[in-house]
Structures are given as C-alpha cells and as structure tokens.
Amino acid sequence: MQMRKLGQSLEVSALGLGCMGMSFFYGPPRDTAEMTKLLRAAVDLGVTFFDTAEVYGPFTNEELVGAALAPVRDQVVIATKFGIRHGERGPSPFSGVDSRPEHIRRVTEASLKRLRTDCIDLLYQHRVDPEVPIEDVAGTVKDLIAEGKVKHFGLSEADAPTIRRAHAVQTVTALQSEYSLWTREPEVEIIPTLEELGIGFVPFSPLGKGFLTGKVDSSTSLAGDDLRRVLPRFSPDAMQANRVLVELPEGIAAERGATPAQIALAWVLAQKPGCVPIPGTTKLERLEENLAAVDIQLTSAELQRIEEGTARIHIQGARFPAQLQTKLGR
C-alpha cells in the first residue's frame, strides 16, 4: 500500500476506509461480525486510515470500529468527529450542530470510550457551528491535544475563511469535504487554501455515494431507510440526467481493463499529493477493487479527456435537501 501524508506529520495509507455505511445511511446496519471481519481484512490489505463519527448510528459505528481495531490499534489511524446534534439511537440523527467547548469535551470523552482508546488520532469538527467562534473550537481541541487525548485537529465542510481562522489557533491537519467527479466545488477555493497552508485533504464520497461506480441508476430500488432516497441527486430524473457523467470513467475503464470505480478513485488521487479519499463499502470484493485504484496512474491525456468531458456536463440535483442543509449549515 502506498502511503501519503496529511498535513505535516500524519502518515496514512493513500486510500482510507469510510466506515459510516457499515452502521448507518445506506439502509439497515450490517452484521457486526461480518463488518469486524471486513475492518480487519482492510488492515491486512494495508489500510491504516479509518473514518467514523459519533453521529453514525448514532454511536454504534464508533463502537464497531473501536472493537474491531482494538487488537491492531497501534497499526492504525482512527478519525472521528464531533459537532452534530442527534437523537439517542433514534430515527432522527441530524437535529442541528453543537460545538460549544463543554459539548466538545463531553463527546470526546464518550468517543474515547467507544473507540477503546486513550487518544483519538484525528478529531474533526463535523460541521461548523455558526453560534460558536471557530477560535473557541480550535482552542478547545488544542487543549485536548495538550492533555494527550487527541493528536490532530481536522475540519469538515468548512469554508476557506473558517479554515484560516482555525489554523491560526491550532494547526489543522486535514480538511474533509465531499469531492468527486460530480462534486468539484472544493477546487475553487478550498483546495488552493489547503495547499497554501499545508493542510491535507480527505475527500468523502469520492464515488458519489455509489453513483460513479455505474451500479446505481434511475432503475435502482433503494431500501426504505437508505438516506439517498431524500437526496435530490438520487431522484430518478436527476440520476437519468447525470448518467452521462458515468460514461467518462466507464470509457477509460474499458480501455485500461479496470472498473469505473477504480478510474473515479484514481482521478481523485491524481488531484493532489496530500489527498486521501475514504470510500466506504460493506463488501470485501469492493474493498479490494477500491484499493487497486491506488496503482492506477492516469495519463495526462486521460486526465485531460476527463476534464474536457466534465466541463460539458451540468450536474442535476443538489447534494442535500434544503431542510438538511439548514440544519447542518451546508
């Protein structure tokens, strides 16, 4: 497995593993024993970077990751997140944001217990809280770092001014945002800011929540509790309109003897040396497929072909419904 560096000192596998879907978002939680096997298989395959959050479940994903990785804790980097209010193990996980210093401290202590560790490698603010100055958030995490409970500070879906303000108080090691062939907004201001400040970039949903694999289309029947059902981009009309985007990685994949998912991931990996995507999966064969993308080096001609093709495509549908954007500040 190739390694990459987030920020100045956090070395991780070039591809991480997003663990959310094992417990949350994409239908019912998966079998704990099977997911434990998958997490340990990921370690055997060279993955050292695992992403979770207290809100995934809520709580159950941290418990799964903590238990599964406890025997290999010294070999892996675990990232988790605070800052989204949620119901207690209920059907309404997103009720707003909360990054008050006392809340950060309380949930960090709880996350440490669920993760079965005495130190969180990378602690992200999950979403910016407009009611709490980012300086107070960064200062609280700085104190947690000084106390040995956290090693690195991260932000998720923050804008460039917020990143700068936080970084001035406590070094930001990584910024996590959605980024893929169909979500390229970070290229405008976020990625240049990260490069200027020496901050790593962790794209989530680099496969467009499954859409860029070519296996999800307007005829796909999503489970009743699959939250993609409420995302505007996953309406049948939007998926039909956006299908043309999938044809770009499909065409190159056919020529390279690869899969569309591998080409989509190779494209993300090619965008920035300090870029570490975290695709999620619940299947070993998909994990192996994704990890093989690390060895695919797209040529300049292929990258240009993708660039020219995407420039002609207007993506239909918002990332999130308006109500959820309001709750999460995005």
Secondary structure E strands in 33-112: 49-51, 77-82, 84-85, 96-97
Containing H/E element for 299?
none
Secondary structure E strands in 14-149: 17-18, 49-51, 77-82, 84-85, 96-97, 120-125
Q: Write the CA distances from 313 to 125, 182, 251, 268, 309, integer angstroms.
A: 33, 9, 16, 18, 7
Spatial separation of the C-alpha atoms in residues 82 and 329, rounded to whole Å = 15
Residue of 52, 63, 164, 163 whose CA lies nearest to 110: 63
**Choice among 26, 56, 124, 179 that is catalytic:** 56
The sign of the dihedral angle between the CA atoms of 97, 202, 330, 193 is positive
Kindly report whether the peptide bond that precedes residue 260 is cis, defined as omega within 30 degrees of 0. no
- Residue in this structure with the two tokens 């987030």, named with its chain if needed: 6
Residue of 238, 178, 232 whose CA lies nearest to 208: 178
* Phi and psi at residue 56, to the nearest 5°: -75, 105
Residue of 208, 197, 233 whose CA lies nearest to 218: 233
Spatial separation of the C-alpha atoms in residues 135 and 165, rounded to whole Å = 7
Residue of 173, 171, 174, 119 whose CA lies nearest to 150: 119
Q: Which residues contact 48 (CB under 8 A, 6 or more apart)?
A: 1, 3, 12, 13, 16, 75, 76, 77
Q: Is 56 a catalytic residue?
A: yes
- Which residues form the catalytic set? 56
